[in-house]
């Protein structure tokens, strides 16, 4: 009888342990939002009258990792901030908004630093490809609506300085 009690106790302990192991407690690890790091300044000049339309503080994406992650995981960006992507050569580029939580205007810029095309009001988290439609060497991401607010047009000139 004593042995039966020991086996019963052992069986209860095993069942208890097994049921507690079945609870999948998923721990969510929060990573901090990437902070904006000013790496340069960028000015857009109107092609029609050579006046400054907009000056921005910019982050610069040049490495494969930087160009792949871009503004992912950001929840906001100030109006006078943006990210400039610099590619090694001029070709067709396509961007998408995977893990990008803010709406953006994507400005495609040719090798002569002129605006070549736009994708305005790109929707957050949308994985649809947004093509440059023409070969470009640079891409500028700014908050959605700023292209319209500052009346930016194809042909406007970009000038940037790295810090």
The DSSP secondary structure of 75-122, one letter per residue, reads ----TTEEEEEEEEEEE--EE--TT--S-EEEEEE-TTSBEEEEEEEE
DSSP 71: T
Walk me through the domains of the chain, giving residue ranges and CATH numbers: 40-162 (2.60.120.1140)
Q: Which two tokens stand for residue 155?
A: 């042909």
Cβ(124)–Cβ(103) below 8 Å: yes
What is the rounded average pLDDT for all residues in the chain?
Answer: 87
Q: Report the candidate in 118, 113, 114, 107 with the shortest Cα–Cα distance to residue 141.
A: 107
Q: Which two tokens stand for residue 57?
A: 């503080």
pLDDT score of 33: 82
Confidence label for 34 from pLDDT (cuts 50, 70 and 90)? confident
Task: Tell me how many degrees the CA angle 71-72-76 measures, rounded to the nearest 5.
Answer: 65
pTM of the entire predicted model: 0.80
Does position 2 have pLDDT exceeding 60, yes or no? no
Write the burial class of residue 52 (CB in 10 Å: 0-12 exposed, 13-18 middle, 19+ buried): exposed
pLDDT score of 11: 46
C-alpha distances out from residue 85 to 11, 53, 67, 127, 140, Å: 63, 20, 6, 19, 6
Does position 88 have pLDDT exceeding 70, yes or no? yes
Interval 5-22 mean pLDDT: 50
């Amino acid at each position: 009888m004593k042995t039966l009690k020991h086996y019963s106790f052992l069986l209860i302990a095993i069942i208890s342990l097994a049921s507690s192991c079945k609870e999948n407690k998923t721990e969510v690890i929060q990573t901090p939002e990437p902070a904006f790091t000013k790496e340069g300044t960028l000015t857009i000049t109107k092609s029609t009258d050579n006046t400054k339309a907009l000056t921005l503080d910019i982050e610069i994406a040049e490495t494969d990792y930087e160009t792949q992650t871009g503004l992912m995981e950001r929840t906001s960006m100030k109006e006078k901030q943006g990210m400039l992507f610099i590619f090694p050569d001029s070709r067709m580029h396509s961007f998408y908004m995977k893990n990008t939580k803010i709406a953006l205007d994507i400005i495609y810029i040719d090798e002569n630093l002129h605006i070549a095309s736009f994708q305005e009001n790109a929707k957050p988290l949308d994985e649809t490809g947004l093509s440059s439609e023409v070969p470009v060497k640079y891409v500028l991401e700014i908050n959605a609506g700023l292209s319209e607010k500052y009346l930016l047009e194809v042909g406007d000139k970009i000038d940037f300085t790295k810090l």
